[in-house]
Structure 1
Amino acid sequence: MSDRIKAGLTRLFEEHRIVFWYDAARDMLRAEFDAVDLEGVEKVEIANNEFGLKYRMLRVEPKQKFLVFKDGPEPAMADNWLLDVQLATAVFKADQAAIWLAELGLPGKYEAAVRDHMAFYRSAARLDRLKAMEAEQPSDSVSAVRRKMLAVCAGADGALDTVIEALLGELAEDSDEASRLMDRSGLTEFFWKQVANAYGYVSDEPDFEDFAITLFQSCYCRALGEDGKLNAEALLVFRRWKNNRLGSDAFETLSLKYQDILRIPEDLRDREIKALRPIDHFEEIDRQIIRTLVAEMSSQTVTAAEVLKTVRERRQSHWYRTYADVYEAIGYATEFQQALSEAALRMTSPAEGVKRYVTSWFRIDQLYRKFIYHMQKSGQASLLGALFESVENRYTTSFLLTVNDAWQDQVAKMADWSVPGYSRQSDFYIEQAAEFRRRDQKVVVIVSDALRYEVAEECLREIRKLNRFDADLKPMIATLPSYTQLGMAALLPNKDLMLSDNGAVSSFGNPTQGTANREKTLGQGRAGDRVKAMKADDFMNMKADDGKALFRDHDVLYLYHNRIDIVGDKLATEDRVTEAAEDAIEDLTKLVRKLTTANFSNILITADHGFLYQHRPLDESEYSVADPSGAEILVKNRRFVIGRGLEDSAGMKKFTSEQLGLSGDLDVLIPNSINRMRIKGAGSRFVHGGATMQEVVIPVLRVGKRREADVGKVDVQIIAPNRNLISSGQTSVALYQAQPVSEKQQQRDLLAGIYAQDGTLISDEHQLTFDFTSQNPRERELPITFLLSREADRFNNQDVILKLRERVGKTSHFEDYTSHRFQLRRGISTDFDF
């Protein structure tokens, strides 16, 4: 104990010249007194010599420090002849409570904060933590000390709300260690008084799980605009805890547990979606919203605007990451239905049909594909079942069949396979790739197997998001039949393209199948060109220096990429083609970046053919009714027949090789519209080879590199009320996204909150994503309501600041993006003095 006594006395002598020390219990403090040796301090003892001591301390040695010891209790005030001196100086108490009080640097009036909770102080670790908290922010009342003791017990930061969060975390783990420590420390009664004053929780037998259930129930009711047992401060604490990533697991555990206790599923049945949109207290809310949206969309009783607004608002839900793909699927289904309803699927010529397809109709294919992809990824097929049936039926019947029946009417009139005004695939090399060589520029061509036009359009947008990259997309008409061997050959320099009896293709009289043969054919182009053909994966695996050497040593490079066809063209994997399309877009974006790193700046991306895809297994009506017939049937595919002397059929269109721009004497039959032929063991959902728009309108994506940075984020502005005044417990502002999101103006993610000038957060925080694409400025406004905390009352009649903060890279740090100053002037402040 000697070190603690010495330390306590030293602190007192830093402020006082005279210190009194009474050994009231005569419990060995005489020995401690005798042992104390403080530099510059004279030890004296009271022994019927009060007047002599007073004269010496006040008159004889007025600057000397004195430690005045009495072997016995402090006299009553009437009998204490040194009372006037004692009142002007300090009294040292050497019992355990006094020592702890001295260690904390607290005045004697806070003695109850120690003496009533002795068990708390018997842990050196707890005492050290409390000392650190006192050093950081000294207490101004006994209650303040006790609140810090609660925080130490709970392992929290200090404020009552952090204690609640810590106890909720413990509750989620089925532990009560902190609660038991509070009880052993004599703090339980104080804790519940604090909770009652702060949050309005009152109970004859307070229990923390009862408080937790009441918290969930009250916050749910208040969010719905109904009365709750707890006050608005409880709602603020709940929001902070729910949105804090450190409390996420605990929130989810308790929420899932209590939604059944509180009978939330039953309560939600009679709620309207509009009331539920901003609420995420229970996972069942998201499921109810999804079920309702699916039902209303399937029956077409909800507008696209309402659906998209709901989906957008749910992005702020705590459970969004669980249902992100479900909401994405719903969003794409909504856009699909809207696009389909606006499409006039008519044409008067092949050229008009292609123009309409590449202008707008392709988007319906794209939205359908995105819907299927997110539905599969979500793993919630049953939840989305009714919506899938609706989308699938409308896609197949109202779009795919309708548009291709109209297109088939145009194809049926064709004498030769060509569309006026649009490039043919067989002219690609001479018109596109060789254009760069005529200017003595190097060029790389990426041929992505089955890169349908709509997939390439999405790839275009992803490439344009890259800094200093630009790209444009044009359509091209594939050769018929639209299958790999012929499409690949047509993209090379070619002469006398010819189908063989087994479906292989020759050009310049030589085979074109396989990378080696394609490289030889590529060499038939411009005389003197150094050419190379290789797989895209092999290029991606190259080291940087090898890539630059490849650029240095070659003039024309053809890279062959295969993600979509290799998955879709197999019966076992054709249902994963939408995932393969996503992978293809990611691959091509990475490939473009690596090519530019290797100094390639002229990049063309194209395809050998497109594809038809329907996710649901086909109906009988979607198979061709006629079996092909003729002198010699050589090759039979789901979507084409090659032979000699083939006969015309009501269900098929016949082309001769000459009509297709090919050499040789073979005929080709193409099933009408989207019909397939029956082929044992072959997949039927993913097909190509025919003449539908999805198969034959293929992309030419031209990519270039800019010298200057051209990618930024949208600007966000704060639109405050005319009076920059906050006069109640909540305030609303509008946040405005100045530009629509585009490839070059990307989304901005911000964290919004209201702060005092010293940096204290005095409201709830909102994580916000600004990614509005609308051209209408009013549709890019985001209204936000901030709920002020009890802490805000400390800053009443002061300026406070609404801050929008942005994450620094991928770190956990934020920097101010923009701010707006308000005056906080609330007429009636909350009573915090407890």
Structure 2
Amino acid sequence: MDLQNIQDQLNTEFAKSETRIIFWFDDKGEYEDEVSELQLGDAKLHILDGTNWLYSKYLLNEEDKESKYLVYAAFAKPSDAENPLADMYYYSTPYYTDRVSQMSQEIGIDNRFKEHLSQYGNFWKNKHRIEKFKELGIDHYNAQTIDIGLISVLTDVKTPNFEEVVKQMMFGDNEKYCKALDDNGLTDKFWELCEKFFGYKAEKPNIDDLSACMILTYASSTLKATVPEAMRTYILKKRNDVVVFIRNIMDNVNYQDAYDKLVERIDKSLRFVTRVQDGLKKDVEKKKDSSLQLSDIFACDAFARLDDIIIDWALAQLNDEILDAQIDGLNLAQVADQRMSKAYHYSERNKNEYTTIKYAYLMMKSVSLMEFSSDIKTLVTNYQQESYLIDSYYRWFYYAYDQIEDNSKFSDVRQRVENIYANTYLQKITPKWNENFTNEAMNVTDMPKQEDFYEHYLRGYDGKQRVIVIISDAFRYECAKELFGRLELDEKCTPKMECMLSCLPSVTSVGMASLLPHKEMQVDGNLNVTVDGRACVSMEQRDKILKSYNENNVALSFDEVANANQARIRELVQGKNIVYIYHNQVDARGDKPASENEVFNACEEAIEEIHKLVKKLTGYVSAPKFFITADHGFLYKRDRLQEFDKVTYPKDKCLYTNKRFLITEDAVNVQGIMARTMPYLNKFYVDTPVGADIFKVAGGGQNYVHGGSSLQEMIVPVIELTTNTRGVAYDYVDVVLTSVTRKVTNLITYFDFIQTEKVTDTMKARSIVAYFTTEDGEKISFDVLMIANSREDAPEKRTFHEKFTLKSREYKYGDKYYLVLADANDEKNILQQYEFMIDIAFVDDFGF
């Protein structure tokens, strides 16, 4: 810097009223010969020569208190202890001519770090980098925060946070960043910080090795077994800090994909999971008990392929029908639920696989425990309360199975599920039902009949309040049960559910007719149906029949209503009394051979569509009362029957044939066929297979059928729904800490929590994250996720036992720390906060 620039800068500073003394320590004495030439206006020049300290102090404090002075020294500023003018220096203005000193003064870094800053002279040559360093907003400068700030700038990290730097190095353009560190002399400093923060030290450190060490260290924290010997050198000393760091990456949506790719690469290189797998095989040979060694890896979610081990084991148990197999006391369904929990990193990746395992187990277990009553009323009651779940489990199994991209290794389990469902469950329950479901039993049962639907459920609303009736074709009982569960959780809905006995044959034409108001229903030998002498196949015909009982009744199609806006919906139902809405999702797909295997997808869509329509109508018009029902149910089996398994029948006696029923003038007295008369059949008989089989009839689909006399076809749901358009006040369930202690004595600790209320229509489920913080709000553990969605009555079934891992750091006795429970969807919403004392006398490199 030339003398003129120095002079201008000094005079500018002296022009400030608050500036009286400027100290200039010229480290190398570069301006010693020129300093006397400075023209300083009213200010005076005083030279420090290293011997005149006392005089200088006297001059400035006593002899001349008023004048402004430039105090120049042709040597470096001594330490405060050796500087008699140190007190004056700190209330005066320092001046520097070197770039680093000027920059540090501008930023606010104490000049005692000048030597430290000077190590990185190349960094300070770039104005853009200096600006980025300023923007970091470092609160407190010391050697470490300065180094982290410099490295942050060079790695494009916008906060002075070394953990963020390491993430950037692991998942960003590390070649570019390594070169930037090299060019600016910060490579060694980066690795020193890695050792300090994470305990990583290597002869030839590199990012890939650091990443591998971190992942394996995290994995070791969740393994009960000893890490394979070849892997132990990868375990870092500061394990707890690594665990918190990696867990935060795994839980961050911005890094999840990159983490998965990194882990896959590390596993492929180091063969970690393969080594674990080999160890498990040896244990199996030695222990003869697979549950023991699987429990060693069960809590670990570091590597995707660990799930493959658990899934393969579960499939083996199902294939051998070992339904009492457990891991850590959990049955196969609970194992699947645990690994699907959001607390596990790969829960979404393997959701379909674990869902398939869960429902295969539940279906097989339920069938193995099932007892079949000989009483028709008990059979229906059991089906309403328990047995219907077997159909749901079967449906949910295939719904998940079909979504697995490569489900080849599930093929044996699929075959076993199919055999148990079709050949054990259906072929036991259906004959038992048909044995007891005689004409006599049907006439004396107090169960509502489908042909009495209007009279039984709707007559009381004639000419009164609006009632909306949604009739969904083939919406069988177990599907309605799932919809009922969803409606129970809707704060605007109060549902009740029961069932009716469908007409026979259980087909659309008969079922739809029976749900209309009528005095008389007739079915002829060709399955033509009339009510009160009128045809009722089309929407227009059904509308006329409804209006014949009340001119304000109306029949509408589901699509017409679902696709309408609010004005159109009000136009459609304005002034109407009883509104029939016809929905056709399940039967439309199931009845076509090309799409019959999509029927379970159709069930899922039907449930969703009906729920959406209820919410839409509740919001758009005054609709306080709904009835949701169906014309019939259905049977579905994935595997087609062989020809020799189909039921033969006397064709010459038949007026009408279908895969699940016959219409005949005389009863068919053939083994395996049940003949019944119905009041509306004009003395004809409806003949159905005793089992869940089909008649040997050409054409059409074979997997999806209806028309017969199974519980799945004949037990028709009725959901009576009362809605509140004003809305109902609701709240969210709470989770509280139940552990008594408020003292932590180990970096790894466990606490118990309870969901205080069960989930209901007015108490909503919620997701909660729990973590420890300092008094200043700094997180010192990773987030622990708790999904509070239990609907159990018993409090002991709504508990959580969670593991917390604290960072390795100094915890001062007497400082306050907090266990925080926050809303997972909005962490600013603190739900609970518990004050803790952390009393860890000594924390070594392993966190113990």
Normalising by structure 1, we get a TM-score of 0.89
Which residue of 598, 607, 614 corresponds with 1:576?
Answer: 598
Instruction: Provide the rounded CA distance (Å) in 2 between the counterparts of 1:222 and 1:532.
Output: 65
Question: Does 2:489 align with 1:465?
Answer: yes
Q: 1:505, 1:511 within 8 Å by CA — same for their partners in 2? A: yes
Partner of 2:607: 585
Matched, 1:566 2:585: no
Partner of 1:610, secondary structure, is coil
Counterpart residue number, 2:192: 193
- Provide, for residues 22-65 of structure 1, a one-character-per-residue CA deviation record: whole Å limited to 9, x for no partner: 3847489969995989xxx7253759999898876444531443
Deviation at 1:252, TM superposition (A): 0.8
Q: How does 1:762-801 map to 2 (within 5 A)?
A: 762-790=780-808, 792-793=809-810, 795-801=812-818
Shift of 1:181: 1.1
1:217 and 2:225 matched: no
Cα distance between partner residues in 1 of 2:14 and 2:636: 83
**Which 5+ residue runs of structure 1 have no aligned equivalent?**
none
Aligned to 2:576: 554
1:645 to partner: Cα distance: 5.1
Q: Is the 8 A contact 1:797 1:826 kept in 2?
A: no
Structure-2 residue corresponding to 1:603: 626
Map 1:115-194; keep pairs closer than 5 Å. Answer: 115-133=118-136, 135-139=137-141, 141-156=142-157, 157-170=159-172, 175-194=174-193
Deviation at 1:733, TM superposition (A): 0.8
Distance 2:40 2:110 in 1: 22
Pairing partner for 2:364 from 337, 340, 344: 337
Per the alignment, do residues 718 and 570 of structure 1 end up closer, same or farther by CA in structure 2, a change over 3 Å counting?
same
Question: What SS does the aligned partner of 1:378 have?
Answer: coil
Q: CA shift at 1:361, angstroms?
A: 1.1
- For residues 15 and 405 of structure 2, the distance between their equivalents in structure 1, rounded to whole angstroms, comes to 69
Partner of 1:291: 312
Distance 1:553 1:772 in 2: 42
Please show how residues 103-122 of structure 1 align to structure 2 within 5 Å: 103-122=106-125
TM-superposition CA deviations, 1:577-621 (whole Å, max 9, x none): 111111111111111112222111111111000000112233446
Check conservation: 1:798, 1:825, Cα contact below 8 A: no
**Matched residue, 2:407:** 381
| Preserved CA contact (<8 Å) 1:481 1:690 | yes
* Structure 2 CA distance for aligned equivalents of residues 562 and 33 of structure 1: 99
Structure 1 residues 76, 283: CA separation in 2 closer, same or farther (over 3 Å shift)? closer
Equivalent in 812, 831, 842 of residue 817 of structure 1:
831
Q: 1:29 to 1:796 in 2, by over 3 A?
A: farther
CA contact (8 A) 1:268 1:288 kept: no
How much does 1:248 deviate?
1.3
1:748–1:85 Cα change, 3 Å = closer
> 454, 462, 471: which one pairs with 1:429?
454
Name the SS of the counterpart of 2:43 in structure 1.
strand
Identity of aligned residues (%): 22
Residue in structure 1 matched with residue 641 of structure 2 by the alignment: 618
Aligned to 1:718: 737
Segment of structure 1 superposing worse, 184-193 or 145-154: 145-154
SS of residue paired to 1:492: coil
Q: Which runs of 4+ in 1 moved over 6 A?
A: 11-16, 27-33, 47-55
* Letter of the structure 1 residue corresponding to residue 703 of structure 2: R
Q: Distance in 1 between matches of 2:650 and 2:763?
A: 53
Q: Is the 8 A contact 1:23 1:30 kept in 2?
A: no
Q: Which moved more, 1:581-590 or 1:635-644?
A: 635-644
Q: Structure 1: how far apart are the matches of 2:10 and 2:38?
A: 16
For 2:236, give the aligned amino acid: L
Tell me the distance in 2 between the aligned counterparts of 1:224 and 1:786: 15
**Equivalent position of 2:396 in the other structure:** 370
Is the CA contact (8 Å cut-off) linking 2:20 and 2:69 kept in structure 1?
no
**More moved, 197-206 vs 472-481:** 197-206
Q: 1:579 to 1:4 in 2, by over 3 A?
A: farther
Q: 1:748 to 1:240 in 2, by over 3 A?
A: same
Using structure 2 for the length normalisation, give the TM-score.
Answer: 0.88
Could you tell me how far 1:669 is from its partner in structure 2?
Answer: 2.4
Distance verdict in 2 for CA 1:320–1:7, change over 3 Å? farther
Q: Distance in 1 between matches of 2:299 and 2:161?
A: 28
Matched residue, 1:476 = 500
Give the 5 Å matches for 1:36-51: 42=43, 44=45, 46=47
Residues 1:47 and 1:749: Cα distance change in structure 2 (over 3 Å): closer
**1:105 to partner: Cα distance:** 1.5
Residue 19 of structure 2 corresponds to residue 18 of structure 1: no
Preserved contact between residue 605 and residue 701 of structure 1 (Cα < 8 Å) = yes
Q: Give the match for residue 465 of structure 2.
A: 441
Partner residue of 1:497 out of 521, 538, 559: 521
1:483 to partner: Cα distance:
0.5
Distance in 1 of aligned mates of 2:673 and 2:84: 118
Q: Which residue of 2 aligns with 1:393?
A: 419
Alignment CA distance shift 1:446-1:87 (3 Å): closer
Paired residue for 2:286?
none
Q: 1:482, 1:695 within 8 Å by CA — same for their partners in 2? A: yes
When residues 383 and 488 of structure 1 are mapped into structure 2, their CA distance, relative to the original with a 3 A threshold, is same
Counterpart secondary structure, 2:548: coil
Structure-2 separation of matches of 1:36 and 1:330? 87
**Aligned 8 A contact 1:711 1:745 in 2:** yes
Aligned with residue 749 of structure 1, among 767, 776, 794: 767
Distance across 2 between alignment mates of 1:519 and 1:740: 44
RMSD: 3.3
One-letter amino acid of the counterpart of residue 135, structure 2: A
Aligned equivalents of 1:93, 1:677: Cα separation in 2? 101
Query: 2:251 corresponds to which residue?
Result: 243
Answering whether residue 236 of structure 2 is matched by residue 230 of structure 1, we say: yes
Decide whether the 8 Å contact of 2:728 with 2:762 is kept in 1.
no
Q: 1:677 to 1:130 in 2, by over 3 A?
A: same
Report the counterpart of residue 290 of structure 2 in structure 1: none
CA distance in 1 between partners of 2:6 and 2:374 (Å): 98
Q: Distance in 1 between matches of 2:745 and 2:58?
A: 62
- Of residues 639-648 and 604-613 in structure 1, the stretch that sits farther from structure 2 once superposed is 639-648
CA distance in 1, matches of 2:48, 2:729: 90
Match of 2:254, SS?
A: helix
Alignment-mate amino acid for residue 18 of structure 1: I
Alpha-carbon shift at residue 752 of structure 1 (Å): 0.7
Shift of residue 369, structure 1, vs aligned partner: 1.0
Cα deviation, residue 694, structure 1: 0.5
Where does 1:91-102 land on structure 2 (aligned, <5 Å)? 92-102=95-105
Deviations 1:356-394 (A, max 9, x none): 211221111111111111221233422433332222221
Counterpart-to-counterpart distance in 2, 1:671 and 1:116: 91
Q: Tell me how far 1:236 sits from its aligned partner.
A: 2.3
Residues 659, 694 of structure 2: 8 Å contact kept: yes
Task: Report whether the alignment pairs 1:803 with 2:802.
Answer: no
1:684 matches 2:692: no
Supply the AA of the counterpart residue of 2:635: L
Note if contact 2:46-2:69 (Cα within 8 Å) is conserved in structure 1. Answer: no
**Could you tell me which amino acid in structure 2 is paired with residue 248 of structure 1?**
Q
Report the counterpart of residue 285 of structure 2 in structure 1: none
Q: Secondary structure in 2 aligned to 1:662?
A: helix
**Structure 2 letter corresponding to 1:367:** Y
Residue 834 of structure 2 aligns to a residue whose secondary structure is strand
For 1:467 and 1:11, the matched residues in 2 are separated by 73
What is the distance in 2 between the residues matched to 1:15 and 1:770? 64
